[in-house]
Amino acid sequence: MAKQTKVTREPVEKVISVRRKEKFSHIPAEVLQDSVTKIGSIFDGRTPLRGLSGEEEKELLSVHLGIDPNHNEFGKLAMNFWAEMDLKVPSEGTELNISIDESGMPVVMSDYLKYRWLLRHKYVADSKEEMLNNPMKDFYLYDPNREVKKTNLQIKKKKLAYAEFIKASEDEDRMDMLLRVLDNVNPSKMSAEQKENRLETLATTNPDKFIRFAQDKDLEIRSEIDLMVENGVLRKSGNTYFYIDEIIGDTIDESITFFKNKKNSSHVSDMRAKLKELR
């Protein structure tokens, strides 16, 4: 008989906190500081909200309750457990240890069960931003590791946007293209210093948008279409672009496709000739 080897997993150490929405009140701050708010059990249909699936209950909740999942009373005890579930959240929040050991089991079972329940709770948001954007949410889960990664991601985006800005600032024509599509301005009326200053502001205030356009392989055509609209070669109504009375695209992306299609090369040449005459 082959010898069985014990399967181990990489343990995961993780502590999160449950925090509540700050509320304005006439109650003195020191009293509010000591106040406690509770997240209570709610119903999901006709039964209490459960934090685990049926199979997970057999594996995890049975351990917490100390009862065999095949026992006749297990179902009743499980339902009562979720019906009585609550969590007190003081003003400073409350921590839950949701670490997993090398066997795949929660280190602090009670904390882990509460965490899984909170993930499904309609009054609990996954982040502070989600809570603030949803009036139904009064609590949120704060994961310090996720916040560190989120902050670092934003830093990386800002670095990339600034790198793209530096490249663009060395080419005034490219600065013009970016300013035209990003800021809807006429760069011909700006000095080189003004262009650079404005472009730097755009890169730092909205790095996602700046990166998207700076890395757009169709930036030159996109800018050219905007320039044609500005000079009356093309007409724009809503999101639709016209050349004389012919629709070339119902969106900017469709219009770019029109310009790139070799079948339309004669039309595009005419447009470019007219633009050249006007400039």
Predicted pLDDT at 35: 66
What is the 3-class SS of 97-130, one letter each residue? ECCECCCCCECCHHHHHHHHHHHHCCCEECCHHH
Write down the CATH number for the domain with range 218-279.
Answer: 3.30.250.10
Lookup result for tokens 């014990």: 6
What's the mean pLDDT in 153-169?
A: 97
Full DSSP string of 5-65 = PPP----B--EEEEEE-----SS-HHHHHT-EEEE---EETTEE--SS-HHHIIIIIHHHH
pLDDT digits (tens, 9 = 90+) for 126-153: 999 999 999 999 999 999 999 899 999 9
Biggest alpha carbon–alpha carbon distance for the chain: 89
Whole-prediction pTM: 0.68
Confidence of residue 184 (pLDDT cuts 50, 70, 90): confident
For the residues 159-179, what does the mean pLDDT come to?
Answer: 97
* 3 state SS of 141: strand
Per cent of the chain over pLDDT 70 is 92
**pLDDT value of position 279:** 79
Q: So what's the pLDDT on residue 6?
A: 43
Cross-sheet strand order for the sheet of 240-243: 235-237, 240-243, 246-249
Which pLDDT value is given to residue 160?
98
- The contacts of residue 107 (CB under 8 Å, 6+ apart) are 97, 99, 100, 101
State both tokens at 133: 């954007």
Beta bridge partners of 235: 242
Where along the chain do its domains lie? 15-143, 144-216, 218-279
CB contact burial 236-246 (16+ within 10 A = b; e otherwise): eeeeebebeee
pLDDT, tens only, 67-76: 999 999 999 9
Q: Select from 127, 136, 200 the least CA-distant residue to 163.
A: 200
